[in-house]
Amino acid sequence: MTTDLITRLEKIVGPRFVSGEAEERYLYSMDQGTMPPAVPDAVVMPKNSDEVQQIVRLANELKVPVVPMGAGLVLSGLTRALKGGIILDMKRMNRIIVVNPISRYAVVEGGASQGMLKAYLKKHHPGLKHSMPDAPPIATLAGNVCIHGSGHLSVLGGSHSDMLTGMEVVLPSGEIIRTGACSVSPDWFGRSPLPDLSGLFLGWSGTTGIVTRLGIKLFPNYKHNDVLIFVSEDADLMPDMISKLTSTQVAEDMTPWMSPKPDWARGFLHINIAYGAHSKKELTFKRNLMQASVREYIDRKIAGFLPLPPPQKGRFLKIPSPDLARFADLRKGGGFEYVGAIMAIEHFPAAYRAGLAIAEKFNVGYSLGARIIGAGHSMMFFFAYAFNRADAEDVKRASEALEATNTAALKIGGIPWKAELPAQKQIIEKMDPNTFALMGRIRSVLDPNHIMNPGNWEK
Amino acid sequence: MKPIKFDPAVCVNCDTIDCLMKCQYISFTDISEAREEKLKINDGRDSRVLTQCLTCYACQEYCPFENNPFYLLVERQEEKGILPAPKPIVEEQLRMMAPRGRIAPQAVSGPVVDMCAFPMLTGCVRGKLFEGATTIVGTDIFCNIMWLHFAKNSIIRERVPLMIDNIMSFYLKNSDTNELVCFHDECYGTYTSVADAYGIEVPFKPIHQFDYYNQRLNVLKDSIKPINAKIVYQRPCSNRLSPQTDKVLDEIFAKIGAERVPRKHDRENALCCGGVPRAHQRDELADELVDKNINDMLSVGATYCVFNCPFCMATLGQEVAEKGLMPVLVSDLVQIALGE
Ligand SMILES: Cc1cc2nc3c(=O)[nH]c(=O)nc-3n(C[C@H](O)[C@H](O)[C@H](O)COP(=O)(O)OP(=O)(O)OC[C@H]3O[C@@H](n4cnc5c(N)ncnc54)[C@H](O)[C@@H]3O)c2cc1C
Ligand code: SF4
Ligand code: SF4
């Protein structure tokens, strides 16, 4: 069957873009996270929607699983072929199709990367930017939107799926459909006022279709940019501080962080706040608004803004931020995974304490932090653990810590984000049974042969 | 704990109360009000000066009797638990700048240049100006004078003797010199003025960077190519602790053909660069100081903006450059004149 599969895939995309070789299958069997490898039968790289459609039809015919993959950087093993089959690597579909500078959106292909769009905008539309995650720039826009990612404009624009304006999707049965305004109009300006079908493909971990095009919102790229770092020592005050700072509605990004490294940072709670403006005067005005919002804490001398001379700010204004990637190599061996749990802001103190307790219990290197989503509407609280991939004991400890973290996050009222298999099961356990049953019915309608990334979101 | 060297009787007999009357940041209706506030400070009573002070060090220079008004003010702030900056800001910096115990003996020979805690500055020590020099650097030899801005005399008392001990035992004790060239104005202030007022013994001879350059320029006089340029100078807070060195700087400028254009905020009227008020969460005041300084610099027409203190340069350098002045350290300017 495998030889037949490879030959038929070759017919669709050409022999250079299919592989059934052991080396490729090994490389595509895992990501940098802790999930064990799962080896695919074939890897294929289509060039356009038509080829994706043909691959999906072939998979239906042969009853072979298809796993859509962007850069495979999700870290929670969602692009592993759990039941074998085809990994559909989207990286060749990387065109930026259109940028609308007035209605501020871009339409890109399903494999276009964050870095490519950033470079394209810098060159052709320097007055615009999109919300970059801190993932390596090769991460794809589609992969990130599909997992409800967040990034450098998330206080301004919410999660990246909130910034989605429409999609073209190859359904598991092979039809190509569109969601959002682009299903009616030539423009990709938004998802309203139609029945919103985009949700059928967001947060489903590639189990409901393959996104071949998507529209995403763009935002003004300011000439003047600045960062503030607010420091305090009491986790219980964080929800109110975040609420006050976001109430000014001038920040673009807000990322609390708590880390035992470097040594001086241990025990302090920091909030990095990035913001921009057209002029220095406007920048100062925005800074003053944010400072005034927390003046009560400053006057009580229990929190304040770190004095950062301009040359020291550059590091904090880098997009993507290099800090997480640096942490990823803390234990050498390049192992790194985090549980990100989306939760209400008021759970910050409980999440912080749970993270500290778990890191101590499992003796793992940790970094805790969050990204605020929307004007203080929720946050992605992350518990990151570094481990040495070459040390089995270390990997085991990190896995156990991650599992304990998922349990703790759910208990607090949060929901593990881009959940790996065990976490999906924990979520399902807590989920309203009718909701889970509806998910199953939707999947059977869309994917009668159950070929799309099977193994995920199942009991 | 040794008390700050200070004689209340001198203040009682003081006619001018220059320490407060000349203060550029706190106003007094008249000399009697200033006197009243100064006496409150001296007696350990509450005074609005203790909370309004920008910690610019200037009163140390203004007092004609060297009666250490600023060190006493910081002492009173700490005694009363007055925090010029929020606690976490101070605590985090205390940890950042704490001695790490990572120091190891190093063979050094003169001139030994103390770069304080700033390794990024060691690149400045190069060429003919610093021929044969050894640099020493790290938080284990950090001068710790910055705690004057944060009401932490206790940290100065605790850490400065340790730093001095480190400098001696790891570097100078087994070397051919007993002199320490302070690249950082603040270090010189610590090992001279602070040490004297706080009763801390200094077993080596601190040499101010300006004295060192001035001497080197005598030796290198044949290599000097006068720069024939107008400069403006940003005098830092720490130079209030060694005002005599300002005249040495004039000699340096004269030797290298740099014209120190008079401006309102130079010499005794120097204004804070705006860095410390940000730590005190007084950003709007800091903005005002930055504007005043830069507008004043621009009004006199100069090519270079010369900094003595690297922190002032970090605070103002970018803005100064955007406005068309070239920011340089004194050592950079001397090196330019030496053709380097
Ligand atoms: C150092 C580091 C920092 C990170 N920081 C952030 C951050 O700040 N914000 C953030 O959101 N994430 C972050 N991440 C997580 C992750 O890397 C990103 O979310 C990334 O954008 C995922 O994109 P990808 O192309 O790698 O997706 P993949 O890992 O390839 O896929 C993710 C999921 O989407 C599905 N999928 C991918 N492409 C398609 C498609 N075309 N159609 C249908 N389904 C598809 C896959 O099947 C999988 O379930 C970080 C990761 C690292 C390593
Ligand atoms: S400190 Fe000096 S200037 Fe101030 S009152 Fe005392 S003697 Fe006068
Ligand atoms: S240190 Fe400066 S601000 Fe404070 S009292 Fe002295 S002169 Fe005034």
In a shared domain, residues A73 and A100: no
Instruction: Kindly determine whether residue A268 and residue B88, on different chains, have CB atoms separated by under 8 Å.
Output: yes
* Residue A305 near chain B (CB below 8 Å): yes
Task: Give residue A396's pLDDT.
Answer: 86
* Tens-place pLDDT, residues B247-264: 999 999 999 999 999 999
Q: Do B89 and A264 touch (CB under 8 A)?
A: no
Average pLDDT, chain A: 94
Q: Which helix (H) or strand (E) holds A108?
A: strand A105-109
A104 and A215, same structural domain?
yes
Could you tell me what percent of chain B has a pLDDT over 70?
100
Rg (CA), chain B: 20
For residues A181-201, average pLDDT: 98
Q: What is the pTM of this model?
A: 0.95
In the numeric block, the tokens 């759970």 are attached to: A347
Q: Are A155 and A272 in contact (CB under 8 A)?
A: no
Q: What pLDDT was estimated at residue A33?
A: 80
Q: For residue B164, how far is its CA from the centre of ligand 2 (angstroms)?
A: 30
**A330: in domain:** yes
From B204, B169, B176, select the one nearest B190 (Cα to Cα). B204
CATH code, domain carrying A304: 3.30.70.3450
**Residue A284 and residue B287: Cβ atoms within 8 Å?**
yes
Domain with CATH 3.40.50.1860 in chain B: 223-337
A304 Cβ under 8 Å from any chain B Cβ:
yes
Q: B318 to chain A: which residues are within 8 Å by CB?
A: 310-311
For residue A327, what pLDDT band results from cuts at 50, 70 and 90? low
Residue A26 has pLDDT above 70, yes or no: yes
Q: For residue B210, which of B241, B188, B238, B227 has the smallest C-alpha distance?
A: B188
Buried residues in A372-381 as b, exposed as e (16+ CB within 10 A): bbbbbebbbb
Chain B's closest residue to A265, CA to CA, is B92
What is residue B212's three-state secondary structure? helix
Cα angle for residues B274, B278, B282 (degrees, 5° grid)? 100
Beta pairing class for B179-182 and B205-208: parallel
For β-strands B258-260 and B326-329, DSSP reports them as: unpaired
Which pLDDT value is given to residue A191? 97
Q: Which residue has the higher pLDDT, A402 or B114?
A: B114
In a 10 Å sphere around its CB, with 0-12 CB exposed, 13-18 middle and 19+ buried, how is residue B54 labelled?
buried
Among residues A168, A194, A220, the one where a domain terminates is A220
* A443 is a domain residue: no
Distance CA B285, CA A185 (A): 53
Domain for residue A425, yes or no?
no
Chain B residues within 8 A (CB-CB) of chain A? 83, 85-89, 91-92, 95-96, 98, 275-276, 278-279, 281, 283-284, 287, 311, 314-315, 317-319
Q: Are residues A115 and A216 in the same domain?
A: yes
Of all residues in chain A, the percent with pLDDT exceeding 90 is 84
Query: In this structure, what CATH number is given to the domain that contains residue A41?
Result: 3.30.43.10
**What average pLDDT does this structure show over A9-27?**
97
Supply the pLDDT for residue B179. Answer: 97
Domain boundaries B223-337, CATH class: alpha beta
Q: Is residue A328's pLDDT more than 80?
A: no
> Running DSSP on this structure, what letter comes out for residue A379?
E
Residue closest via CA to ligand 2's atom 8 equals: B17
In a domain, A447, yes or no: no
DSSP codes joined into one string, B29-62: SSHHHHHHHHHHHHHT---HHHHH-----HHHHH
Domain assignment of residue A366, yes or no:
yes
Cβ contacts of A193-196, under 8 Å, gap ≥ 24: none
Atom of ligand 3 nearest to the CA of B54: 3
Q: Are residues A209 and A107 in the same domain?
A: yes
Q: Following DSSP, what letter does each residue of A72-88 receive, concatenated? A: S--SSSTTS-BTB-EEE
End-to-end CA distance of chain B: 48
Name which of B281, B285, B287, B307 to mutate to probe chain A: the one with the most chain A Cβ atoms within 10 A of its Cβ. B281
Of the listed ligands, the closest to the CA of B76 is 3
| Same domain assignment for residues A196 and A117 | yes
Q: What's the ipTM?
A: 0.94
Q: Do B283 and A265 touch (CB under 8 A)?
A: no
Q: How far is the CA of B69 from the centre of ligand 2 (A)?
A: 7
pLDDT at B91: 97
Q: Please tell me whether residues A141 and A162 are part of one structural domain.
A: yes
Task: For residue B200, give the amino acid letter.
Answer: I
Q: Whose CA is nearest to atom 2 of ligand 3?
A: B56
Residue A103 DSSP symbol: T
Predicted local confidence at residue B2, as pLDDT = 92
A106 and A216 inside one domain: yes
My answer on whether A388 and A339 are in the same domain is: yes
Query: Residues 6 or more apart from B254 whose CB is under 8 A from it?
Result: none
Give the model's pLDDT for residue B1: 83
Yes or no: domain B88-213 corresponds to CATH 3.40.50? yes
In degrees and rounded to multiples of 5, residue A210 shows phi and psi of: -120, 120
The residue segments making up the domain with residue A257 are 224-317
- Whether the ω angle into residue B8 lies within 30 degrees of 0, i.e. cis, is no
C-alpha distances (whole Å) from A271 to each of A183, A244, A447 are: 41, 12, 44
Question: Is the predicted pLDDT of residue A335 greater than 70, yes or no?
Answer: no
One domain, residues A286 and A261 = yes
* Average pLDDT for A356-373: 92
- Helix ranges (H only) for chain B are 8-12, 18-21, 31-43, 48-52, 58-62, 69-79, 87-96, 153-166, 185-189, 195-198, 209-219, 244-256, 275-279, 283-300, 310-322, 330-337
SS3 A367: strand
Q: Is the pLDDT of residue B318 over 60?
A: yes
